[in-house]
Amino acid sequence: MDDIEGEKIENMKIIDEGLIKIKIPEFDKISSEAPVFYNPNMEFNRDISILALQTFQKELNRKIAICDLFGGSGIRGIRYKKEITDTDEVHVNDISPLAISFAKKNAEYNDVELTFHQNEANILLRQSRGVYDIIDIDPFGTPSYFIDSVAYSIKKNSLLCVTATDTSALCGTYKEPCVRKYNAMPYKSEYCHETGIRILIGFIALTFAKYKKYIIPQLSHSSMHYMRLYLKIKKGSASSDESLKNNIGHIIHCRKCSYRKSITGITTSIPRICPECGEKLKITGPLWVGLIQNKEFIEKMMNDNSKILSTKNEIDKLLETCYKESEAPVTFYDVHELCRIMKISAPKLDKILNTLIKEGYLAIKTHFNPLGIKTDCDVQTLKKIIKRLVN
Ligand SMILES: C[S@@+](CC[C@H](N)C(=O)[O-])C[C@H]1O[C@@H](n2cnc3c(N)ncnc32)[C@H](O)[C@@H]1O
Ligand SMILES: [Zn+2]
């Protein structure tokens, strides 16, 4: 039995992850109601983070200070300290006194020295401007409440890692929460996980611009129930203006014929009627229409994926797809959705990909959807190609 925060915790269990072991209270189900939050399904997220943070540290080529702003059991911060070489300080924060007590015990248990804060995340960020090279935000649900404080607090030439688990808002299951939290109109299309991640990135970019800071996405992925971003942060008013001008825009989509297009610019006029079939268009945004993957950064992560990570194979697969996606066009076609519109049965994905490539088009798989194709081929030509393959 352990005595933590004056409470006797009857049933403890030991979790073995990466190079560490932590003790947490026994729980029946993963829930924000648990006395201390731990989600075993997020091991993949933490493993990728180890790789991304190590890659960033190597690029900086000096010791780095990391803030794990929503520490929970401490597992993330402890792993960062233990598994990333050349960390300087790792700070772990959580609003819950019980979580911080567990995190402290777990740090001792793993023989690592960390700095602990028991604070509301916004308050810690406002009090620690310019301190951290990396800030990791892994809250319950939306990160939107914390983005302004991060934008104020974070150093230039730093890395921001963001998890969002409110995918139903970002993907447009309900419109109002997305408008409220991200000031953007979502649309529940077959590629809504991509527009969702782009809404999140766009919201961060627009918030950061107030502080003359801008973002360069390094790796963006939608996995299981969450979205995760790794963004480099730079500073400069002219570059922030330029970044918004080139990367913020809207996506127009026709429900009837599946035509879609990304429109760059905040004040650019947006067509309302589908040029292909005359149907009224759906408009998503404002969102990030620029690149969401960085080839060089991902390549470095791939080359570095030699650490002992139990999700290594899944990481390899994701990184390879994101690497290929890095220069692909915005949005993708879901082959089954196109075939549903055309009322035909779907040919094999690889058959379509190979035909597109043979005919001189770009054709790439996407991590967002196993049935998705990113291509520069227009939708009407793509439909003709698919029809030809079926006949
Ligand atoms: C999703 S969990 C973090 C999980 C952890 N990063 C991991 O990898 O296991 C979110 C944590 O944020 C804490 N929290 C919630 N609201 C907070 C706030 N406003 N400021 C700081 N911590 C907060 C909760 O107590 C909880 O431990
Ligand atoms: Zn149309």
What share of the chain has pLDDT > 70, as a percent? 97
Residue 124 in this model has a pLDDT that exceeds 80: yes
| pLDDT-wise least confident of 203-217, 236-250, 300-314, 352-366 | 300-314
| pTM passes above 0.90 | yes
For the chain, the structural domain boundaries read: 2-325, 333-390
DSSP helix, strand, coil percent of the chain (3-state; round to 5): 40, 25, 35
Task: List, for residues 323-372, the tens digit of each pLDDT value.
Answer: 999 989 999 999 999 999 999 999 999 999 999 999 999 999 999 999 99
* ipTM value: 0.98
pLDDT of res. 36: 83
CA–CA gap between residue 72 and residue 48 (Å, rounded): 18
CB distance 95 to ligand 1 below 6 Å: yes
pLDDT of res. 48: 97
Task: List, for residues 187-202, the tens digit of each pLDDT value.
Answer: 999 999 999 999 999 9
Residue 32 in this model has a pLDDT that exceeds 80: no
CATH topology of domain 333-390: Phenylalanyl-tRNA Synthetase; Chain B, domain 1 (3.30.56)
Distance of CA 381 from the midpoint of ligand 2 (Å)? 14
Residue 240 in this model has a pLDDT that exceeds 50: yes
pLDDT of res. 1: 45
CB distance 96 to ligand 1 below 6 Å: yes
Task: Answer whether 185's CB lies under 8 Å from 168's CB.
Answer: no
To test ligand 1's pocket by mutation, which of 37, 50, 66, 101 has the most ligand atoms within 8 angstroms of CB? 37
- Enumerate residues 6+ apart whose C-beta is below 8 A from 282: 187, 189, 252, 253, 254, 255
CB distance 38 to ligand 1 below 6 Å: yes
Yes or no: is domain 2-325 CATH 3.40.50.150?
A: yes
pLDDT of res. 35: 75
Residue 177 in this model has a pLDDT that exceeds 80: yes
